[in-house]
Amino acid sequence: MDASAPVLVGIDGSTASVRAALWAADEAAARDTVLELVYVVDPARVDDIDEAVAKAHKAIRRATTAITDADNHVKLESEILHGNPILELAHAARGAALLCVGYKGSKDSAPLARGATASNLARIAPTSVAVVRRRRMRSPPRLHRWIVAVVDETPESHTVLQAALDEADHRGAPVLALTTWSDGHPHPRAMPDSDEAGHVRASMDGYLDDPHHLSADVRICTLPLPGDVTALLERTAGIEQLFVISARRHDLVDQLTGDSARRALRGTNCSILVVRASDTVGADGVTPA
């Protein structure tokens, strides 16, 4: 991905989306790139388009003010689109470094389930997606909370681990790598050829064991990946800052954006970063689920 690629954030007028914008502003500043605020007006769900557009401008101003008040020195751009929010945000994210959305939105009511926009974008967006959960508007996440990365026998794990290390370096946090081979249960997506899976495991073990790969300020630990990551979240209050997974791990995307995870994460600052490698994007610019 181009280092100058922008960070996008979906704005819908909800408090959760403003908090996502603040989180995204930190990411854009760390990457020295533009932050784009994108609001999607859905004609199918509004009675008056002009009124909806006015509401969109108001929501963008609110997010912009929050970012400015937080002293985030980042270049801001904004855009109002028309159409289905999930599809429009996914298409807008083509060429972006990251798409950020709040874990719930202002339209969390029938016919969409709570958090439906966020969970669907985590599955189909052509770039990495951060589903942001933040309890307060302007206070930063507490330091020394774990960045958790799921590392399996697939090549995508290199990208996942690097993303976790980058976030850990940025936030001054330790990394907990949950590995699928620690307990002898390989992930089913690993190549049936044991030599292939073994090569990836050996490569990842070497990476984890070699301090030259790590920032001097980043501490890393490993544990076996549990069968249900939401159970780990429920019993471990310290895992509260960021959970990093591959977009190809549909099982984990489902777990971490589902109802059980939402209950486990209620009242926490734990966001979900779904990492997508650039070579997984389809010809139409949106990666199929």
Residue 36 inside a domain? The answer is yes
| End residue of a domain, out of 107, 132, 157 | 132
pLDDT at 89: 97
pLDDT at residue number 288 = 41
Looking at the structure, tell me whether residues 156 and 120 fall in a common domain. Answer: no
- Average of per-residue pLDDT values in the chain: 82
Rounded Cα distance between 196 and 19, Å, is: 42
| Sign of the torsion formed by the C-alpha atoms of 41, 46, 50 and 54 | negative
CA 6 to chain CA centroid, nearest Å: 15
Q: Is residue 101 over pLDDT 60?
A: yes
Single out the residue in 105, 132, 159 at which a domain terminates: 132
In a domain? residue 274: no
Same domain, 166 and 105: no
What is the phi/psi pair of residue 202, to 5°? Answer: -65, -40
Question: Residue 83 sits in which domain range?
Answer: 7-132
Q: d(Cα 51, Cα 147) in Å, to the nearest integer? A: 41
220 in a structural domain: yes
Do 96 and 185 reside in the same domain of the chain?
A: no
Same domain membership, residue 151 and residue 115: no
Strongest mean pLDDT among 67-81, 168-182, 187-201: 67-81
180 and 77 within one domain: no
- Grade residue 99 by pLDDT with cuts at 50, 70 and 90: very high
Considering the domain architecture, whether residues 93 and 185 belong to the same structural domain is answered as no
Cβ(66)–Cβ(22) under 8 Å?
yes
Residue 223 lies in a domain: yes
Looking at the 3D structure of the chain, how many domains does it have?
A: 2
Within a domain: residue 177? yes
Task: Evaluate whether residue 238 is within a structural domain.
Answer: yes
CA–chain centroid gap for 285, Å, is 18
Q: In the prediction, which pLDDT does 75 show? A: 95
Q: How far apart are CA 245 and CA 233, in angstroms?
A: 14
Dump pLDDT digits (tens) for 126-177. Answer: 999 999 987 665 555 555 588 999 998 888 888 998 899 889 888 888 888 9
The reply to whether 91 and 154 lie within a common domain is no
| Residue 96 in tokens | 């972006």
Quick one: pLDDT at residue 204? 66
pLDDT (mean) for 30-57? 95
- pLDDT tens readout for residues 192-247: 445 656 666 776 677 667 656 655 567 888 888 888 888 777 777 666 789 999 99
CATH of the domain at 228: 3.40.50
Q: Is 123 a residue whose pLDDT tops 50?
A: yes
- The CA-atom distances, in angstroms, between 226 and each of 160, 180, 230, 241, 251 are 18, 8, 9, 19, 13
